[in-house]
Amino acid sequence: MITGNIFLIGFMGTGKSTAARELKKMLHMECMEMDDMIVERQGMPISQIFQKFGEAFFRDLETGLLVELKGKKNMIVSCGGGAVLRPENIGHMKESGKVVLLSATPQTVYGRVKNSTNRPVLNGNMNVEYIQELMEKRREKYEKAADIVIVTDGKTTGQVCDEIIRALEI
Ligand code: S3P
């Protein structure tokens, strides 16, 4: 039984947003997309936030949102792919819920994000090699933060969500 929040973390293109929307329906819980909330509050797309104010400013907004979420319960939160980069963010997540890591191979990720123009971290580097390199750099942080890990390659959203629910014993 879950009483806190469920945080979906993982690299870009691991299916966090899609799984969060499906879990919302399956579990009748509220859902928050961190990126969407930041975009709505700032009134501009992520690429523009990065361009105008820099990455550190965006990361501060992520931290602020995670602090806010400590006051909420029963929310499914789809985190931005870089939300684990600051150790304090992981602490905020752990204080208010369970952390679910979605994983995928660099090839799978590339297939899912290759047409995206709103992922500044991959600007000019939209290729499998770069994705693999960045994923390796972040791997330890993702794995350290995770309470459970779900591999998403070759699975439908329904299968991924069933596995999450089973693993969390909801
Ligand atoms: C980022 C991932 C993006 C978004 C921003 C930075 C990252 O979220 O927060 O572009 O550093 O991995 P998604 O994982 O939802 O694409």
Task: Give the number of domains in the chain.
Answer: 1
pLDDT at residue 49 is higher than 80: yes
Distance between CA 16 and CA 48 in Å, rounded?
22
Structure tokens at 84: 């684990």
DSSP run (H or E) holding 101: strand 97-103
What pLDDT sits at residue 45?
Answer: 96
Ligand 1 pocket residue status of 80, Cβ below 6 Å: yes
Is 141 within 8 Å of 84 (Cβ atoms)? yes
CA of 33 from ligand 1 middle (Å) equals: 11
Ligand 1 pocket residue status of 121, Cβ below 6 Å: yes
Q: Dihedrals φ, ψ of 47, to 5°? A: -60, -35
What pLDDT sits at residue 70?
Answer: 93
> If you average pLDDT over every residue of the chain, what do you get?
96
Distance between CA 160 and CA 156 in Å, rounded?
6
Domain extent for 10: 5-168
CA of 15 from ligand 1 middle (Å) equals: 12
CA of 13 from ligand 1 middle (Å) equals: 9
What pLDDT sits at residue 26?
Answer: 95
Of 131, 97, 68, the residue nearest 9 (C-alpha)? 97
- What's 37's domain CATH number? 3.40.50.300
What pLDDT sits at residue 170?
Answer: 80
Ligand 1 pocket residue status of 35, Cβ below 6 Å: yes
Ligand 1 pocket residue status of 79, Cβ below 6 Å: no
Going by pLDDT thresholds of 50, 70 and 90, the confidence category of residue 1 is low
pLDDT at residue 134 is higher than 70: yes
Going by pLDDT thresholds of 50, 70 and 90, the confidence category of residue 169 is confident
Going by pLDDT thresholds of 50, 70 and 90, the confidence category of residue 92 is very high
Mean pLDDT value of segment 44-62: 97
Mean pLDDT value of segment 45-69: 97
**CA–CA distance from 156 to each of 62, 73, 162 (Å)?**
28, 27, 10
Each residue of 99-120: pLDDT tens digit? 999 999 999 999 999 999 999 9
CA 7 to mean position of chain CA atoms = 8
For a mutational test of ligand 1's pocket, the pick from 7, 8, 12, 116, i.e. the residue with the most ligand atoms closer than 8 A to its C-beta, is 12
74-79-80 Cα angle (round to 5): 165
Ligand 1 pocket residue status of 141, Cβ below 6 Å: no
Is 83 within 8 Å of 14 (Cβ atoms)? no
